[in-house]
Structure 1
Amino acid sequence: MTGAPQTVHVALAKGLTAQGIDTLFGLLGDSNLFMADAFTHNEAGRFIPATNEDNAVLMALGFAAMTGKTAAVTVTQGPAVSNALTGLIEGVKAQLPIVFLCGDTSPTDPWHPQAVAQEALIVATGAGFERLKSPETACADLATAFRRASVERRPVAFNMPTAMMWEPTSDAPVAYPAPNQDGPAPDGPDMDNAIGIIASARRPVILAGRGAIPAREVLIRLADRIGAPLATTLKAKGLFQGHDFNLGVFGTLSTPAAGDVIASADCIISFGATLGRFTTMHGSYLTGSRLIQVDDDAGIIGRFAQPDAALVGTPGAVADRVLHWLDQADIPSSRATDTLSPTTLTTPEPAPPGNVANGTVELTAAMDAIEAALPADRLFVSDGGRFMGTAWKRLSVSHPRNFLLTIATGAIGMGLGYAIGAAQARPDQTTLLVAGDGGLMLGGLTEFSSAVRDKLNLVVVVCNDQAYGAEYVQFEDRQMDPSLSLFNWPSFAAMARSMGGHGETVASMEELHAALAALPDHNGPVLIELMLDPAAVPRLQL
């Protein structure tokens, strides 16, 4: 006698394992519950449930960002897919690879209550779309979705007809290796042009974006060779920490001393950075400088700023080749760093005087206290909101892979899902989420219960000015009544405690220091609610 034939849902669970997936985020429904069951019981994988589909996608994005690998998330059909669309848009804009395994209703039942135009909705987000075409191609189709997500650096939906889950299949798991994208460094006229620009520069600056993170060591060698200070985009924050001539973040978040150096530069050598408006201080930091732009994606070159020399290739390979030609031509150092003082380059602006309402804390001082209290190797996840400029300036990370922005769409409310995914990916490190009150309410405060369930090493700091801060400022600037932007939220700390976590309301610096000192005593997530004066929160200047 032979055993029962393998079914599609079992084959897909095996296919996930073949792709290196050991953690699957999602919500169960008619389409995916048997696949998730097979994944956990047959394949010994972890299934991490969320309270809503959008946060499930955000968890997968956070996991992908912190592991550097393609992550997986699954939802059922119809409204489950539509609930996840914002997360997919975020993933597309953040260029994070995930596979979104979603069910689908039968095309023979167009009047099914959950029937929606899933392909049209998903494609409209910018995500890729791959079908489970037949039972006999189930594993091959899944492998294609994973390969596309990795190569295309975006979410790819894997659309699974619900009616197919119990069909027999003989298809075996397969993993298609991603192609090697480390092309050779360019030589020829473009390289000659770049070398000539560097040779004539007297005040060069090297800028590294997130795409240049793996090239840290060779970029430092290049900077030392030409006498250039080093800076990063916000997404590569912390890359050159510890280097004597680290300028920190290049752009609207630069320290005063770093801003002076950047503004006086006559050559910017950019590796793996898109050079958007905030990085370039709305273009002003490129004025009067010659620009060399290096990226492995030719589509990035010149998107926001026209370079004087463009080199398409991986940042590390290009930097190594530039070093080779500088040595071959015996080009001397600019010695621009000889006049710089390492001790002042990354010194932030002093905290403003603490003129805040009674029962509130001053945000800058609070961020400084958090910076001092939490482990240096923490993960820092930032939601969006008026607080974020202060948090980005005052909170450091030991490596850019420890820093996670959640505002690729420019929206608030993404942070908690991202932070849970990050904490699941790297449970031995403390994950710090800084969020606004409006963002946490909008983004699903109930997801805190998921962190409690898994006893995650997570600290959530809620900047509670009881307002939508950006809107409050706009009303105030026009001498209008800001009351429409104000809210009387319930206590976030009390809600955290009601879900089984730890919650502390902080209305003074003494209470904040006490709450931070008690963090090592807690097992599981902690929420610290900073009470802020909406009239005294520092302006967000981007």
Structure 2
Amino acid sequence: MTTLAAAVAETIANHGIRHAFGVVGNGNIYFVEALTGTGARYVPARHEGGAIAMAEAYYRTTGEVAVCTTTYGPGLTNVATGLTEAVKRRSPVLLVCGDAPVGRPPRPTDFAQREFIESLGARAVRVTDPATARETAADALELTRRDRVPVVLCLPDDLLKAEVPAAPAPQVATTRLVHVTPPAPGELAPVLEALAQARRPLVLAGAGAWQAGAAKILADLADELGGLLATTVQAAGLFAGHRWSVGLCGGFSSPRAAELIAEADVVLAFGATLNTFTLHGGKLPGRDATLVQIDAAAAPTTPRVDLAVTGDAADVAVALLDTLRARGAGASGWRTELGELGETGWADAPFEDRSTADRIDPRALSAELARLLPPERTLVTDGGHFAGWPIMYLPAPDPAGLVFTGVGFQVIGLGFAGAVGAVAGRPDRTTVVALGDGGALMGLPDLETLVRTAESALVVVYDDAAYGWEVHVYGDVADPDTIAFADTDFAGVARAFGATAAVVRTVEDLDAVRTWLDRGRAGTLVLDCKVVPDVVAGFLADLAGQLQAGGGPAAAPRAAA
């Protein structure tokens, strides 16, 4: 006899699910038992809110769907923040949870799960008949893959052990994205006209360009135009190694990169939402530049857009490139004018080291880590004021090499969980997770999960004993006792969880990293880095005025140190 729980697990596993993350309870324990029996790897988390972040990070590093699973009631409500983050990031995640029984009165733990799920922007699918359980599970998996939206598959408690009749395994289509109709030739005419007048064109790629597999065609388009290349944070590393790539566009741009981006007169933005952070509060690109947005969205995502084209990034790039080549317009002279880009990375940007005898400058810390760590790494970062330092100084080898947790919903506390998902997704790379002390304490339970499950991981806590964002933006009006704290002994906590740990106050203290590397990077090394608290990241200094004015950037990542 096959039970409903087993039929659902087998269907999911038969269609490519290899990893699951969760917390078991009586609403999902039979499902988890059956899923592990298929050979899928299950990572037991310490909190449901961490489990959903693990599954989302797994997708970020692999492009593949993972399962998160919880029990019903409070097990489901505990995923609310991470599920909302996945919705806003358009991450395909399948959440399998328990649900109220269909044939018995409601229990104290039952509530309106469908309404709750849909209020967060996710899709709800409920199994109601054992005879169609396999098809329902297959449909849920197809829905998350096709529409790139989190889907919650609810399994009523009184059906989990119900007998499911034998039947052929249902087929799940391989479609990963909703097809976007290519634009008609006439729709590109205004863009081609702008490019014909461009003297300094720039191709900007966002996450949508990466997901469309458009890296090469966009580089070819930039070559045809004689233009430069840049990416948003979510597509960091897409053009790594390209001679004419300036790196990141937005608040994390290096001074040289920001200078060049501001000089562009036509910017083609492919698959980028163009939020305020990417536009650096309106500073990038220059005010006189023509900003063209090519995106699957039906309308421009910001009033700053001058021209908008709805379409797949790769399809539109091919159409533009083919037309330009057919016309033989030739390249602009920008590259010839520049000769070379010069140094566009943060490693080459000078700064005054403000380290003291007992606290390290976060820039000096990050720069030294970049020199020590292998380039083939996955950087996972929590949200926070500190986040600029690792992202700026530890460049990603490709977009899968940067998992910026919480950026969609402006939340902190998901860093440790994100690292667990990244380790599971890319065990071939060195996983480095950076957190502030505020976010690290919020997500502390899943430091234990990381230590328990990761063969190799490096944890870097930028510890300024405060909510740094709030200190630097609102410190003149806030009660200091509400935003600053005594030092936390993260090294002691980490050792209690079974990790190796070191307190870092000087660059010399990073010898602990050298030792870890020399010993084959085995296990989890936690660095409690006591950073100078009053070194303010440039992106926050630029945005602080807007935030204090009461409006501020709607898409600026929430940050705590």
TM range (shorter): over 0.9
C-alpha distance in 1, partners of 2:21/2:450?
A: 13
Contact 1:373 1:517 in 2 (8 A): no
- Give the AA of the match of 1:436: G
Contact 1:245 1:345 in 2 (8 A): no
Contact 2:58 2:425 in 1 (8 A): yes
Counterpart secondary structure, 2:472: helix
Contact 1:370 1:516 in 2 (8 A): no
2:28 to 28, 32, 49: 32
- Give the AA of the match of 1:290: T
* 1:227-275 Cα shifts (integer Å, max 9, x gaps): 1000111111111121121111112222222222221221111111111
Change (3 A) 1:413 1:535: same
Counterpart secondary structure, 1:64: helix
Contact 2:191 2:307 in 1 (8 A): yes
- After TM superposition, list the pairs within 5 Å mapping 1:132-211 onto structure 2: 132-170=127-165, 171-179=167-175, 181-183=178-180, 185-211=182-208
Contact 1:25 1:57 in 2 (8 A): yes
- After TM superposition, list the pairs within 5 Å mapping 1:285-364 onto structure 2: 285-286=284-285, 287-295=287-295, 297-299=296-298, 301-305=299-303, 307-340=305-338, 341-347=340-346, 350-364=349-363
RMSD: 1.9
What is the identity percentage for the equivalent residue pairs of Structure 1 and Structure 2?
32
Please report how far the alpha carbon of residue 429 of structure 1 lies from its aligned counterpart in structure 2 after TM superposition: 1.0
* 1:174-221 Cα shifts (integer Å, max 9, x gaps): 232144745564332212222111111111111111111211111111
> Could you tell me which residue of structure 1 aligns to residue 416 of structure 2?
416
Contact 2:354 2:360 in 1 (8 A): no
* 1:110-145 Cα shifts (integer Å, max 9, x gaps): 552311221222111111111112101111111111
Counterpart secondary structure, 2:276: coil
- Give the AA of the match of 2:377: R
C-alpha distance in 2, partners of 1:115/1:260?
A: 56
> Could you tell me which residue of structure 1 aligns to residue 243 of structure 2?
244
Please report how far the alpha carbon of residue 281 of structure 1 lies from its aligned counterpart in structure 2 after TM superposition: 2.1
Contact 1:255 1:349 in 2 (8 A): no
Change (3 A) 1:284 1:486: closer
Counterpart secondary structure, 2:33: helix
C-alpha distance in 2, partners of 1:284/1:359?
A: 37
Please report how far the alpha carbon of residue 415 of structure 1 lies from its aligned counterpart in structure 2 after TM superposition: 1.0
C-alpha distance in 1, partners of 2:346/2:413?
A: 30
Please report how far the alpha carbon of residue 476 of structure 1 lies from its aligned counterpart in structure 2 after TM superposition: 3.4
Q: Give 5+ residue unaligned stretches, structure 1.
A: none
Q: Give 5+ residue unaligned stretches, structure 2.
A: 544-561
> Could you tell me which residue of structure 2 aligns to residue 51 of structure 1?
46
- Give the AA of the match of 1:197: A
Contact 1:11 1:172 in 2 (8 A): no
C-alpha distance in 2, partners of 1:235/1:473?
A: 25
> Could you tell me which residue of structure 2 aligns to residue 486 of structure 1?
484
- Give the AA of the match of 2:430: T
Please report how far the alpha carbon of residue 515 of structure 1 lies from its aligned counterpart in structure 2 after TM superposition: 3.3
- Give the AA of the match of 2:432: L
> Could you tell me which residue of structure 2 aligns to residue 427 of structure 1?
427
Contact 2:102 2:158 in 1 (8 A): no
Please report how far the alpha carbon of residue 146 of structure 1 lies from its aligned counterpart in structure 2 after TM superposition: 1.0
Counterpart secondary structure, 1:151: helix
> Could you tell me which residue of structure 2 aligns to residue 376 of structure 1?
375
* 1:495-541 Cα shifts (integer Å, max 9, x gaps): 11111111111121111234344334252111111012323354534
Contact 2:416 2:450 in 1 (8 A): no
Please report how far the alpha carbon of residue 19 of structure 1 lies from its aligned counterpart in structure 2 after TM superposition: 2.1
C-alpha distance in 2, partners of 1:244/1:194?
A: 25
C-alpha distance in 2, partners of 1:470/1:268?
A: 31
- Give the AA of the match of 2:508: E
What TM-score does the superposition give when structure 1 sets the normalisation length?
0.94
Please report how far the alpha carbon of residue 475 of structure 1 lies from its aligned counterpart in structure 2 after TM superposition: 4.5
> Does residue 502 of structure 1 match 2:497?
no
Contact 2:516 2:525 in 1 (8 A): no
Please report how far the alpha carbon of residue 477 of structure 1 lies from its aligned counterpart in structure 2 after TM superposition: 3.6
C-alpha distance in 2, partners of 1:538/1:256?
A: 13
- After TM superposition, list the pairs within 5 Å mapping 1:378-397 onto structure 2: 378-397=377-396
C-alpha distance in 2, partners of 1:242/1:87?
A: 33
> Does residue 275 of structure 1 match 2:274?
yes
C-alpha distance in 2, partners of 1:7/1:481?
A: 57
1:11 to 1, 7, 15: 7
Contact 2:354 2:532 in 1 (8 A): no
Q: 488-497 vs 425-434, which deviates more? A: 488-497
C-alpha distance in 2, partners of 1:475/1:91?
A: 29
C-alpha distance in 2, partners of 1:50/1:203?
A: 50
Counterpart secondary structure, 2:501: strand
1:113 to 105, 108, 112: 108
Please report how far the alpha carbon of residue 107 of structure 1 lies from its aligned counterpart in structure 2 after TM superposition: 5.1
1:21 to 17, 24, 31: 17
Please report how far the alpha carbon of residue 399 of structure 1 lies from its aligned counterpart in structure 2 after TM superposition: 0.8
Q: 506-515 vs 456-465, which deviates more? A: 506-515
Counterpart secondary structure, 2:301: coil
- Give the AA of the match of 1:81: L
C-alpha distance in 1, partners of 2:62/2:46?
A: 23
Count of aligned pairs between the two proteins: 533
C-alpha distance in 2, partners of 1:47/1:107?
A: 28
Change (3 A) 1:169 1:416: same
Change (3 A) 1:274 1:400: same
C-alpha distance in 2, partners of 1:131/1:362?
A: 52
